[in-house]
């Protein structure tokens, strides 16, 4: 008899393996003559061909694209590891908060693309994490970094985060599209619920509908206005008064020169996970790829739902939950979701996994909830955001290491044949 816990983890991991760039790009992108074909869209290749790969999936996307193209005239790849991808220039940035490497990468990227002309094509390979990995702030870098730390710990969702980030950056909010005369084809692996290209990686090649005023409202609603470095607040206020340049707006967006195409998302990953579950003999339904909310609250609902499953049944969900950090423990939203789901759990199993392999400030990708997991110390672990410590001591933390992809989080609810 198979262990249902192992089945649940295996199903979650199948969503990760299906999302690896070396599998996604060859299936979605091809070259025919002097044309790049993405689905039904055709892009002519004329002049020099350059690659700019940014994000947690950047090395894999760059390698896959090089194999598809056969030849390029140069480019840059920026990732958390700085992994080499010849003949491209490899750079390393920091994540989840930008640091010196991120700022060096941002300067190098902007210098490189500004030298390209209208006959060049710049293939941007964009994945989650690029917001932090590549940055050229419009304010003091140290103040920018401190501002991002405060924003990350506030529980702000990705849309709120990016409204602020884009208005403190010369790269985000269409900054790359604005900085070069080259034709741009952005191939995007989405880590954002709803696949908004203005939000993924903070939209470096997309128009931005948000404003400086929106950024200030986020800081106010999250109680951060008085805690932010003075230069950050001053710059945003100057922008709201029309004294700083706004991000690239939809009316200005150069549609004839720039195309943004989402080639993979968590919905695609869930479809592959569902295939895996059915192949293992389970009845399976994909409930949503728009899961949102505060992790521990979502976890309670997931635990109740898992206990309500019929035998031999699986539900799949994808999306992104958030955590308001109030303690100094180790963990992340997926582990908090799993730990919270275990409260009162009797029959079902819940797995919550970040597809990039890194959940919060811990070495785990996520966690697994099962009956009898909740016990002494669980409430305190949640209160101090220390889910990793609790789960890892009970063999309930899932550790994969960085996966080389990033398409949100996957949640598996499963009830075994005998449970």
pLDDT, tens digit, for every residue of 24-82?
Answer: 999 999 999 999 999 888 999 888 999 999 999 999 999 999 999 999 999 999 999 99
In this structure, the answer to whether residues 208 and 86 fall within a common structural domain is: yes
Does residue 156 carry a pLDDT above 90? no
Q: What is the mean pLDDT of the chain?
A: 96
In this structure, the answer to whether residues 79 and 188 fall within a common structural domain is: yes
Residues 336-341 have a mean pLDDT of 98
In this structure, the answer to whether residues 246 and 315 fall within a common structural domain is: no
Among residues 222, 246, 264, which one ends one of the domains?
264
Does residue 413 carry a pLDDT above 80? yes
Q: Model-level pTM?
A: 0.95
In this structure, the answer to whether residues 279 and 251 fall within a common structural domain is: no
Range of the domain at 188: 21-264
**Residue 128 pLDDT:** 93
In this structure, the answer to whether residues 284 and 330 fall within a common structural domain is: yes
In this structure, the answer to whether residues 249 and 296 fall within a common structural domain is: no
In this structure, the answer to whether residues 110 and 218 fall within a common structural domain is: yes
Q: Is 16 a domain residue? A: no
We report the CATH number of the domain holding residue 305 as 3.40.1480.10
Among residues 241, 264, 287, which one ends one of the domains?
264
Q: Is 289 a domain residue? A: yes
Q: Is 15 a domain residue? A: no
In this structure, the answer to whether residues 133 and 190 fall within a common structural domain is: yes
pLDDT category, 419, cuts 50, 70, 90?
low
In this structure, the answer to whether residues 223 and 295 fall within a common structural domain is: no
Q: Is 7 a domain residue? A: no
In this structure, the answer to whether residues 140 and 40 fall within a common structural domain is: yes
Does residue 158 carry a pLDDT above 90? no
Total number of domains constituting the chain: 2
SS (H, E, C) the chain: CCCHHHHHHHHHHHHHHHCCHHHHHHHHEEEECCEEEECCEEEECCCCEEEEEECCCHHHHHHHHHHHHCCCCCEEEEECCCCCCCCCEEEECCCCCCCHHHHHHHHHHHHHHHCCCCCCEEEEEECCCHHHHCCCECCCHHHHHHHHHHHHHCCCCHHHHHHHHHCCECCCCCHHHHHCCCEEEEEEECCCCCCCCCCHHHCCCCCCCCCHHHHHHHHHHCCCCCCCCHHHHHHHHHHHCCCCCCCCCHHHCCCCCEEEEEEECHHHHHHHHHHHHHHCCCEEEEEEEEECCEHHHHHHHHHHHHHCCCCCEEEEEEECCECCCCCCCCCCHHHHHHHHHCCCCCCCEEEEEECCCCCCCCCCCEEEECCCCCCCCHHHHHHCCCHHHHHHCCCCEECCCCCCCCCCEEEEEEECCCC
In this structure, the answer to whether residues 123 and 188 fall within a common structural domain is: yes
In this structure, the answer to whether residues 338 and 366 fall within a common structural domain is: yes
Percent of all residues in the chain with a pLDDT value above 70, rounded to a whole number: 100
**Residue 1 pLDDT:** 63
The least confident of 32-41, 97-106, 307-316, 392-401 is 32-41
């Amino acid at each position: 008899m198979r262990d249902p816990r192992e089945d649940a983890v295996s199903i979650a991991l199948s969503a990760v393996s299906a999302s690896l760039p070396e599998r996604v790009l060859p299936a979605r992108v091809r070259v025919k003559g002097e044309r790049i074909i993405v689905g039904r869209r055709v892009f002519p290749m004329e002049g020099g061909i350059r690659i700019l790969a940014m994000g947690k999936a950047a090395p894999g996307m760059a390698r896959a694209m090089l194999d598809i193209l056969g030849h390029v005239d140069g480019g840059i790849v920026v990732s958390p590891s700085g992994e080499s991808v010849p003949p491209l220039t490899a750079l390393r940035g920091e994540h989840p908060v930008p640091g010196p490497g991120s700022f060096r990468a941002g300067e190098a990227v902007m210098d490189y693309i500004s030298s390209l002309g209208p006959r060049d094509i710049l293939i941007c390979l964009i994945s989650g994490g690029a917001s932090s990995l590549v940055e050229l702030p419009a304010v003091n870098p140290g103040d920018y970094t401190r501002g991002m730390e405060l924003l990350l710990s506030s529980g702000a969702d990705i849309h709120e985060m990016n409204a602020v980030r884009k208005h403190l950056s010369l790269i985000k909010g269409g900054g790359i599209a604005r900085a070069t005369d080259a034709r741009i084809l952005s191939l995007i692996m989405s880590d954002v619920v709803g696949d908004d290209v203005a939000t993924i990686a903070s939209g470096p090649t997309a128009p931005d509908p948000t404003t400086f005023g929106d950024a200030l409202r986020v800081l106010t609603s999250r109680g951060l206005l008085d805690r932010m470095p003075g230069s950050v607040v001053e710059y945003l206020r100057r922008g709201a008064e029309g004294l700083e340049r706004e991000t690239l707006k939809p009316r200005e967006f150069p549609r004839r020169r720039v195309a943004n195409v989402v080639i993979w998302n968590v919905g695609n990953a869930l479809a592959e996970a569902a295939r895996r579950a059915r192949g293992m003999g389970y009845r399976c339904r994909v409930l949503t790829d728009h899961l949102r909310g505060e992790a521990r609250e979502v976890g309670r609902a997931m635990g109740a739902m898992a206990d309500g499953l019929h035998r031999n049944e699986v539900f799949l969900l994808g999306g992104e939950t958030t955590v308001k950090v109030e303690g100094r423990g180790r963990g992340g939203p997926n582990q908090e979701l799993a730990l919270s789901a275990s409260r009162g759990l009797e029959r079902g199993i819940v797995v919550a996994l970040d597809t990039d392999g890194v959940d919060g400030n811990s070495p785990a990708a996520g966690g697994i909830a099962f009956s009898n997991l909740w016990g002494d110390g669980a409430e305190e672990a949640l209160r101090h955001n220390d889910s990793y410590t609790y789960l890892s001591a009970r063999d309930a933390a899932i550790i994969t290491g960085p996966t080389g992809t990033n398409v949100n989080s996957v949640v598996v609810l499963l009830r075994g044949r005998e449970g």
